[in-house]
Amino acid sequence: DTAVSQTPKYLVTQMGNDKSIKCEQNLGHDTMYWYKQDSKKFLKIMFSYNNKELIINETVPNRFSPKSPDKAHLNLHINSLELGDSAVYFCASSQGLLGGYTFGSGTRLTVV
Amino acid sequence: AQSVTQLGSHVSVSEGALVLLRCNYSSSVPPYLFWYVQYPNQGLQLLLKYTTGATLVKGINGFEAEFKKSETSFHLTKPSAHMSDAAEYFCAVNRGGSQGNLIFGKGTKLSVKP
């Protein structure tokens, strides 16, 4: 069983479209995250949810909206996609600070 | 504010040689420190972590790291490199407080020559 699963793995879309990426974890963790990895491999936190409550919202355009229907799911919806949104998006989960994160395998988003 | 600096964006070693990947951190609170590995087209996998206690931490795949508070360092080592160690390595520090998210360094790409 995959611990943190993201779908889709690849997403190619045109500028201006709206798309969603889904994430599910079966580890029973209480916190989930979205990270963006750019072309230089730099990882930056976007959002963090703890028990369905938003606790971190970094400087991310309003076009990005996370939704957590329950603590096992954290989805990312992106409106009006731009070329600069092209990146790999990683979902992760954790239980407290000590365990570190478990990452999904990533969603490679390409905006053309 | 917490931050992480990884010295060297690219390290190349020969198979069987010592691997040393450097990480220095800045933290206003006692740090929790992590090393992750990312293989091509995959997610990040936890190698090892330091929270409290013993400063020499052993991880998976023969890697270890030593927390040195006086040097604010958490360097990753492996005595003998294997071809399968070629990957991107990330050092991370916890943000602190109740939020707990990790702040990552910019990564070091490890190449292993036969």
pLDDT band at B52 (very low <50, low <70, confident <90, very high): confident
Compute φ and ψ for B50, nearest 5 degrees: -120, 125
How long, in residues, is chain B?
A: 114
Q: What CA–CA distances, in Å, run from B27 to A11, A71, B1, B65?
A: 37, 29, 6, 18
The backbone region for A62, taken as left when phi is positive above 0, alpha when psi lies in -120 to 50, beta otherwise, is: alpha
Lowest mean pLDDT among B17-26, B42-51, B72-81: B42-51
Is there a contact between A98 and B107 if contact means CB atoms under 8 Å apart? no
Is there a contact between A33 and B101 if contact means CB atoms under 8 Å apart? yes
Q: What integer pLDDT is reported at residue B101 of this predicted model?
A: 78
Is the confidence at residue A96, as pLDDT, over 90?
no
- The tally of CA atoms less than 13 A away on the side-chain side of residue B12 is 2
Is the confidence at residue B21, as pLDDT, over 80?
yes
Q: Which among B38, B49, B106 has the least Cβ separation from residue A42?
A: B106
Residue A51 to residue A68: CA distance in whole angstroms: 9
Q: What integer pLDDT is reported at residue A17 of this predicted model?
A: 97
Query: How do residues A43-91 score in pLDDT, each as one tens digit?
Result: 999 998 888 888 777 778 999 999 999 989 999 999 999 999 999 999 9
The whole-angstrom distance between A20's CA and the closest CA on chain B is: 19
Is the confidence at residue B73, as pLDDT, over 90?
yes
Is there a contact between A45 and B102 if contact means CB atoms under 8 Å apart? yes
The whole-angstrom distance between A74's CA and the closest CA on chain B is: 16
Q: Which among A41, A48, A99 has the least Cβ separation from residue B88?
A: A41
Question: Chains A and B: how many Cβ contacts under 8 Å?
Answer: 59
Q: Which residue from A56, A51, A45, A6 is spatially nearest to A30, judged by alpha carbons?
A: A51
Q: pLDDT over 70 for what percent of chain B? A: 95
Q: What integer pLDDT is reported at residue A97 of this predicted model?
A: 63
The angle at the Cα of B38, spanning A81 to A44, to the nearest 5 degrees, equals 40
Is there a contact between A42 and B99 if contact means CB atoms under 8 Å apart? no
Amino acid letter at B67?
Answer: F
In the predicted model, what is the mean pLDDT of residues B31-59? 92
Q: What integer pLDDT is reported at residue A52 of this predicted model?
A: 80
- The tally of CA atoms less than 13 A away on the side-chain side of residue B82 is 6
Lowest mean pLDDT among B25-29, B76-80, B106-110: B25-29
The backbone region for B27, taken as left when phi is positive above 0, alpha when psi lies in -120 to 50, beta otherwise, is: beta
- The tally of CA atoms less than 13 A away on the side-chain side of residue B47 is 27
DSSP 8-class letter at A100? -
Tokens at residue A58, please? Answer: 């970094």
Residue A74 to residue A67: CA distance in whole angstroms: 6
Mutate to test the interface with A, among B47, B51, B101, B109 (most CBs of A within 10 A): B101
